[in-house]
Structure 1
């Protein structure tokens, strides 16, 4: 019966998919309010530090130039309506923050183990400046990757010098072994160290679990399979590999919440869990690899078990892709949230006027992907890979359309009631000091009840209590004041406080500005 119900739902989904896809291709948008972005929506952007993809733009920059680039990045994405930065803080078993466990990243100075000079803590600076702007900071870790190629030079303080038994080489890269229990413990220690010492909003992993398979090369874990395989040995090596990754995800999920219950844990996996040809629950795709069979990551299990708080599958394909069409996968992931959040990773990096695929030549096709996401109830937002592309000259039209239409109003990050649903107390003493709107946050002893961000609403006339949509939302900030350039517009202003899980308080008293 359960299977028949599932298939019936899939049949209905396919019908809805075809109807919505037809509307999107014809240029129609089915949002309840035409052009109105939702009030609650995750809008993230990845900032990759590996190989200096996004930041810093090159190695060896001065502290002031590194910080200047941080501010430029935050300002650009704030202007584009983003509310979260996904910052890569551990690209190759090194740190873009001060750590006793791992060396400074070479992508800062050019040499692993060398601190910024003059000294500052990059992660601390990113957090401070993101929070000032009302943006979350998700700390992005690569759990297993140690080197990118055989020429990488590791600091003498790197832990692999004292624990060479923890690693293996596959292709030209070196990795921590996902099978070694000591690696599980070390990885948990590294992540919890950041959770404990930094005010991050989430821990984020991408799709690098077991390495993507190289044709003609077997993973070098046969000896470990004999040592640690247990009940899986000798003929269930795939299940054993998945068990190894399941174990570290479960450990991390519990450890993060034990340290700070409000810190989220999210995964951004490869865009295909399994093909339908491999599993009746798989997607109608013909991908050459998958999470489950290719990199041994059973991400649906993690979501269903509640070990993580969100999934963000990387749907980096065009609609007409013959093997992995965008809407096919968006609809598939829409059905597998298990009561947690599901976001979608988007690929603006593919936009190119000279692309051989027409759908990547114009920004309208990326915007249609956003429209589709907003029309699927089980999807709660999106993130862009990656930051640097929004600084390209040919992105001026996309930036403009985001600012003037698709993300015209700010958005609050969706709540996570399975962690906490208690709203903070409302702001008090709202007043005008010159051209600056000022208010007070009520002090609370419990960290979960404290105000983290503030939503500023402005009403033209009539009802000044309507906040169900983003229509009257003018600003999201981490400060208790906001200055309007060119003078504060007239209207009625009210402020709501948001706690760490984005639960929204009652509105402050109104302030009339003539």
Structure 2
């Protein structure tokens, strides 16, 4: 996810087109994500080897801050280097968690289970972020346990750029990676599986990849090694997609590719850019994955400013939005660059302007920020902008009709009764929907007496709950001597929303 910017810039070699406008000031549905990176302890935990209680406290602080920021989706890195920040799988505990690879947290807890529960309490989705091919973060032997897969199956790996990496051309490697991911899909209540941009490694000068022998064995059907490498990645993506959606229809699969697929000078289908391309350098054909329907969302890392000739933000946003083939596009935004004093980034309004731009495009459904600490440290005032402006009101995650197009039934029997300093709402759980889904959660709306009941306006949302068991709510934000009307809707797991319940009116007097 983090790049060596000097290497990337060395590899880079130049009037906005906006879709039809829409009301984008406060969208009711928007993916508002943040990457919580654990590799090298970028975001969490603050350092390896902390007690379980301190780790939990730190993670709760992160989630609380992002709840205040209006974030509704956490992309939580659980496999930074063929290791695990979870307990119900086949890989060793991460040294970034406990200090020593293979050592469990003390006292024992499962960070992924904990993160899921706490995210859901806050109305946030939790997407499990995997690095599929990175096997070690460095070549320091003491950082790798004798039981690690690189030492158990050394023939599966090659060394490149100071790291050990899986050889994507080996069928047994693909089978192993799929099994690792499916451990998590089957054993945890995640909302999504997420890959970042690390497929084949970012090129190092004068360093060939060590996969020629594998190509000679498995690549006879391909004209060249580049096409074979792309097919290796394609095959993994396709199998992972089928496996996830067969096991749990509601688990989303998303990928965050490098910001340029191909340049128009390389391919007429490419973007108006002139830079490093994921297709040719990382063997990642992200456009194909969307076109084939293998992924549910694209999250391109467009960590570039407006007007940057090599990789202009606006041109790339437009390109990805036009090449999603009906799937979602969430723009990856490099908040960590927001304080750089270089063309484009020296304008501290760069990120806010980027949010305004993407919101004008009907084929873009949100943002993901890299990384958590860059937001919570309020670089260039980004956190302030989210809290006071862009994410001031809650938003539901965008629905995915290709995964589930059936809305739940509406709650019933909504009542409102006065309390000493508030209003207590209660309702009945809706009947099971036609596809067999029960309610997964609820959205509570409040209107002033005389206002039209319009649940498409985000500022009327009081609460988004991901708990079907919670069929009551106390509104303690009411004012004295006011008349209010409440309605409640039901959500299913994929955030399809029901019609609203009966309206409950109440006059508040205290």
1:474 to partner: Cα distance? 2.8
Query: Aligned with 2:126: secondary structure?
Result: strand
Distance 1:65 1:447 in 2: 43
Residue by residue, what CA displacement relative to the aligned partner does 1:468-498 show, whole Å, maximum 9, x if unpaired? 2324223222242444455578521111111
1:457 to partner: Cα distance? 1.0
1:505 to partner: Cα distance? 0.7
Query: Aligned with 1:404: secondary structure?
Result: helix
Change (3 A) 1:444 1:117: farther
Task: Tell me, yes or no, if the aligned pair for 1:262 and 1:448 is still in contact at 8 Å.
Answer: no
Distance 1:495 1:374 in 2: 27
Distance 2:463 2:337 in 1: 31
Structure 1 residue aligned with 2:29:
40
Structure 1 residue 384 and structure 2 residue 372: aligned? no
Structure 1 residue aligned with 2:84:
95
1:500 to partner: Cα distance? 1.2
Structure 2 residue aligned with 1:230:
220
Structure 1 residue aligned with 2:401:
417
Residue by residue, what CA displacement relative to the aligned partner does 1:232-266 show, whole Å, maximum 9, x if unpaired? 1xx41100000000000000000001111111100
Unaligned runs of 5+ in 2: 1-14
Change (3 A) 1:84 1:393: closer
The answer to which of 143-152 and 471-480 deviates more is 471-480
Change (3 A) 1:459 1:487: closer
Structure 1 residue 408 and structure 2 residue 392: aligned? yes
Task: Tell me, yes or no, if the aligned pair for 2:135 and 2:150 is still in contact at 8 Å.
Answer: no
Query: Aligned with 1:343: secondary structure?
Result: strand
The counterpart of 2:138, out of the listed 140, 149, 165, is 149
> How many pairs are equivalent?
483
Task: Tell me, yes or no, if the aligned pair for 1:448 and 1:500 is still in contact at 8 Å.
Answer: no
Structure 2 residue aligned with 1:283:
271
Task: Tell me, yes or no, if the aligned pair for 2:394 and 2:459 is still in contact at 8 Å.
Answer: no
Distance 1:438 1:157 in 2: 54
Distance 1:58 1:442 in 2: 46
Query: Aligned with 1:231: secondary structure?
Result: coil
Structure 1 residue 206 and structure 2 residue 196: aligned? yes
Task: Tell me, yes or no, if the aligned pair for 1:102 and 1:157 is still in contact at 8 Å.
Answer: no
Structure 1 residue 497 and structure 2 residue 484: aligned? no
Change (3 A) 1:452 1:360: farther
Unaligned runs of 5+ in 1: 1-14, 22-29
Structure 2 residue aligned with 1:345:
332
Structure 2 residue aligned with 1:335:
322
Distance 1:465 1:484 in 2: 18
Structure 2 residue aligned with 1:304:
291
Structure 1 residue aligned with 2:352:
367
The counterpart of 1:173, out of the listed 163, 167, 172, is 163
1:432 to partner: Cα distance? 4.7
Query: Aligned with 1:360: secondary structure?
Result: coil
Query: Aligned with 2:129: secondary structure?
Result: strand
Query: Aligned with 2:198: secondary structure?
Result: coil
Task: Tell me, yes or no, if the aligned pair for 2:201 and 2:282 is still in contact at 8 Å.
Answer: yes
1:79 to partner: Cα distance? 1.2
The counterpart of 2:118, out of the listed 124, 129, 137, is 129
1:86 to partner: Cα distance? 0.4
Distance 2:49 2:413 in 1: 47
Residue by residue, what CA displacement relative to the aligned partner does 1:297-345 show, whole Å, maximum 9, x if unpaired? 1111110001111101000011122210110111111111101111100
1:42 to partner: Cα distance? 0.7
Structure with bigger helix share is: 1
Distance 1:42 1:324 in 2: 24
Backbone CA RMSD of aligned residues: 2.2
Structure 2 residue aligned with 1:6:
none
The counterpart of 2:108, out of the listed 88, 107, 119, is 119
Change (3 A) 1:82 1:228: same
1:393 to partner: Cα distance? 5.6
Structure 1 residue aligned with 2:206:
216
Distance 1:496 1:251 in 2: 36
Distance 1:67 1:169 in 2: 35
Structure 1 residue aligned with 2:383:
399
The counterpart of 2:99, out of the listed 72, 91, 110, is 110
